Amino acid sequence: MINFGKQFLYSEKFVFQHIVITLFIVFFVGMLKFVEDWFALEAKKKEIENEKLSTELRFLKAQINPHFLFNTLNNLYYLAMTNSPNTTEVIEKLSHMMRYMLYDSNHNKVPLEKEIAYMQNYISLEKLRLENQVPVEFEVIGETNGVQILPLVFITFLENAFKHGVSNEFEGSFVSIKIEVFPSKIIYSVKNSKLPKETLLEKSGIGLVNVNRRLELSYPDKFTLEKKETDTVYEVKISLDLS
C-alpha cells in the first residue's frame, strides 16, 4: 500500500489533478478579484454620474432665478410706469416668492402645497398687471397634503401662457391651469389662448429646454410631456409618476 501511495504521488495522474485544482483555485480567486474590481469601478462610475447629474440640476435650477426675475421686473416696471396703486402689493408678493426660491426650493423635493402657493402668487402678479381683464382659472383636484415634488418645474409653462398667450388688447385671451393629484401620480395642465401671429413674440425656448432637462434628470422614465396646438389654443400637459 505504501509503494502504491508513493507511485500515485509521482504519477502523471496526480500531477495533472494537482495542476487542474491549482489552476481552478487561481482562476476562481482571479474571478473574485475581477468581480470585486468591476463592482468597485461601477460604484465609482455611478458616484461620478450622480455627482454630474446633481451639478447639472443645480446649474439648471440656477438658470431659473434670472429668467423669473427678468419677467417679474418687466411686470413691476410696467406697473410703476402706469403709476399703479398695486405696485406695493406686487413687491410684497415678489418678496414671498423670492423667499421660496432662495430657501425652500433648495431641496430636491418640496411640498406640493408650497409650490402651489408660489404659483398662486405668480398668477396674482399677472392678474394685477393685466388689471384683471383676462379670465384666469386655477383648479387643484385631489389631496395635496404630504405630496412632494421637484421645485419650480411647473412655473415655466405658466409663464409662457401669460407671456405668449394673453393680452388686454386681445379679447379672446384666457388661461386655465389644473393640477390633479392621485395617490401615485400628478397631472398638470395649462391651456391658454394664442395671440394673433403678428403680435406673438419670438420664443427663445430656453425655459422649455431647461424644464424638460430637469424632468429627465429627476423623473427618468417617469414623466410624460404632451403639447397640443390649434390656431387659437395652446395646451401643455405633464404627468409625473410619484411611485
* Residue-wise pLDDT tens digits, 146-184: 999 988 889 888 988 888 888 888 888 999 999 999 999
210 falls within a domain: yes
Q: Is the confidence at residue 220, as pLDDT, over 70? A: yes
**pLDDT tens-digit readout, 101-137:** 777 777 788 899 999 999 998 898 888 778 788 999 9
Q: Is the confidence at residue 30, as pLDDT, over 80? A: no
151 falls within a domain: yes
Question: In which element (H, E) is residue 31 found?
Answer: helix 12-81
The predicted structure's pLDDT at residue 202: 47
17 falls within a domain: no
117 falls within a domain: yes
Q: Is the confidence at residue 8, as pLDDT, over 50? A: no
**CA quadruple 155, 157, 161, 163: dihedral, nearest 10:** 70
The predicted structure's pLDDT at residue 76: 74
With beta carbons less than 8 A apart as the criterion, state whether 152 and 64 touch.
Answer: yes
| 181's grid cell | 393629484
Other C-beta atoms lying within 10 Å of the C-beta of residue 76: 18
The predicted structure's pLDDT at residue 93: 83
CATH of the domain at 181: 3.30.565.10
pTM for the model: 0.69
Q: Is the confidence at residue 234, as pLDDT, over 80? A: yes
Q: Is the confidence at residue 62, as pLDDT, over 50? A: yes
Q: Is the confidence at residue 201, as pLDDT, over 50? A: no
Closest Cα to residue 153, out of 182, 118, 127, 123? 118
- Secondary structure (3-state) at 199: helix
| 29's grid cell | 480567486
* Edge-to-edge strands, sheet with 233-241: 136-141, 175-182, 185-193, 233-241, 223-229
| 135's grid cell | 379670465
Residue 89 CB-density burial (10 A; 0-12 exposed, 13-18 middle, 19+ buried): middle
30 falls within a domain: no
Domain span including residue 71: 54-241
The number of folded domains in the chain is 1
What is the Cα–Cα distance from 185 to 57, expressed in whole angstroms? 22
Pairing mode of beta strands 136-141, 175-182: parallel
Closest Cα to residue 86, out of 97, 76, 73? 76
25 falls within a domain: no
3 falls within a domain: no
What is the rounded average pLDDT of the residues 219-237?
A: 91
What is the rounded average pLDDT of the residues 180-195?
A: 94
